[in-house]
């Protein structure tokens, strides 16, 4: 039929240009706009900003205007001049030094994820990640590709780190884990979730199990000696024995791998786990009918372009856990990005 005269493809236009918004955020962060406005402690003009960040006046003016439209910057008129300042959200999340900063995540999105997504069409066609095309690296060993340089590894670790300052407490308290004293965080990376555990559960100790070079960097840059209840264990969780524990946390681990590899890993966890112990999966859960949440549907595509895995529903995780021997499987939604699934090993 003929479309109604008042029909207007608002959504489609918004989607078509969604990446323009991402790029404005990436570039403003990279140029240090929000950091500058934070340290200036007073509203600045486009001239002052362009000079301080070493960018063209014309380009800066347009970027600042777009940031204003996105409600990341506030403007005020001063003697016919426009002055810019950070909105509260920009100060808290887009500046480097803020404790809740997403700056490093944005950097990783800009420099790595965005480049992989350039090859999304091929990823869908081929059903596999696009590291070779995007970065010229062999992706046979996933984490060798992800950690293709020390710099990339640190960037990845910073990405992993930042989200737990924002929603880590919700996932570690989604279930009462206070009865588990010896916790092993498999693929615990920078230790951000381990810190959330030790602060939520004063009696527990957490061992971070990760690849040797990740452990080394985590020790040097992320976990201080003051975190006395956090220790490290270097190893490959597919090849090496796992330390014994009451609770194993696998946060954003299974979404990297195929069902077969997940069951292989969970079976090892089941064997190492003390009777009466448990495994906690921390993942973004899809609705059972696959109809959402949109963020998780997009994350699943991100897993396609970047990893060997996918995002799953609670029932799909339950199937993997059951195959590995775990029982009494429950899940809790947190209302934020990441949710929790708990499986028990009978006493």
Contact footprint for ligand SAM (CB under 6 A): 143, 160, 187-189, 193, 210-211, 214, 236-238, 251-253, 256
Name the nearest CA neighbour of 301 among 288, 286, 287. Answer: 286
Nearest approach, Cβ of residue 347 and ligand SAM (Å): 27
When the beta carbons of 43 and 168 are compared against ligand SAM, the nearer one is 168
Cβ-based neighbours of 262, under 8 Å, separated by 6 or more? 254, 309, 320
d(CA 164, CA 161): 6
Q: How far is the CB of 31 from ligand SAM (least distance, A)?
A: 28
Residue 282 · residue 252 · CB < 8 Å:
yes
Q: Measured from the CB of residue 114, what is the shortest distance to ligand SAM in angstroms?
A: 18
Contacts of residues 238-243 at CB distance under 8 Å and 24 or more positions apart, as own/partner, are 238/264, 238/265, 238/268, 241/272, 242/184, 242/186, 242/209, 242/268, 242/269, 242/271, 242/272, 243/184, 243/207, 243/209, 243/272
Cβ proximity to ligand SAM: between 180 and 237 the closer is 237
CA pair distance 117, 129, nearest whole angstrom? 10
What distance, in Å, lies between the first and last C-alpha atoms of the chain? Answer: 65
CA–CA distance, 85 with 36 (Å, rounded to integer): 10
Helix, strand, coil % (nearest 5) of the chain?
A: 50, 20, 35
Q: How far apart are CA 224 and CA 228, in angstroms?
A: 8
Whichever of 24 and 186 has its CB closer to ligand SAM, that residue is: 186
Closest to ligand SAM by CB, 326 vs 338, is 338
Q: Is 233 known to be catalytic?
A: no
| Catalytic entry in 119, 233, 255, 331 | 255
Min dist CB 189 to ligand SAM, Å, is 3
Q: Looking at beta carbons, which residue is closest to ligand SAM?
A: 187
At 164, list the tokens.
């737990």
In the complex with ligand SAM, which residue's Cβ is closer, 166 or 333? Answer: 166
Task: Tell the smallest beta-carbon distance from residue 174 to ligand SAM (Å).
Answer: 14
Catalytic residues: 255
């Amino acid at each position: 039929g003929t479309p109604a005269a008042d029909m207007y493809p608002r959504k489609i236009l918004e989607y078509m240009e969604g990446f323009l918004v991402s790029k404005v955020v990436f570039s403003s962060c990279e140029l240090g706009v929000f950091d500058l406005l934070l340290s200036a402690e007073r509203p600045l003009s486009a001239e002052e900003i362009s000079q301080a960040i070493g960018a063209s006046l014309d380009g800066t003016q347009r970027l600042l205007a777009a940031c204003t439209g996105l409600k990341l910057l506030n403007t005020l008129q001063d003697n016919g001049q426009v002055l810019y300042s950070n909105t509260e959200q920009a100060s808290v999340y887009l500046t480097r030094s803020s404790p809740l900063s997403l700056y490093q995540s944005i950097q990783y999105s800009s420099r790595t994820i965005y480049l992989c997504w350039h090859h999304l069409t091929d990823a869908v066609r081929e059903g596999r990640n696009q590291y070779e095309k995007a970065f010229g690296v062999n992706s046979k060993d996933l984490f060798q590709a992800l950690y293709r340089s020390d710099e990339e590894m640190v960037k990845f670790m910073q990405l992993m780190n930042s989200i737990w300052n924002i929603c880590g407490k919700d996932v570690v308290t989604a279930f009462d884990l206070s009865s588990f004293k010896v916790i092993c965080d498999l693929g615990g990376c920078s230790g951000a979730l381990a810190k959330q555990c030790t602060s939520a559960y004063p009696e527990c100790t957490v061992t971070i199990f990760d690849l040797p070079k990740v452990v080394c960097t985590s020790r040097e840059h992320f976990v201080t000696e003051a975190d006395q209840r956090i220790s490290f264990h270097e190893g490959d969780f597919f090849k090496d024995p796992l330390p014994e524990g009451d609770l194993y946390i696998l946060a954003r681990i299974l979404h990297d791998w195929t069902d077969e590899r997940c069951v292989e890993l969970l079976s090892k966890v089941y064997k190492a786990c003390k009777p009466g112990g448990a495994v906690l999966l921390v993942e973004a859960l899809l609705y059972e009918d696959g109809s959402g949440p949109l963020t998780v549907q997009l994350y699943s595509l991100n897993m396609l372009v970047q990893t060997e895995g996918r995002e799953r529903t609670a029932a799909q995780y339950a199937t993997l856990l059951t195959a590995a021997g775990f029982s009494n499987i429950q899940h809790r939604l947190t209302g934020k990005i990441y949710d929790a699934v708990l499986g028990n090993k009978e006493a």
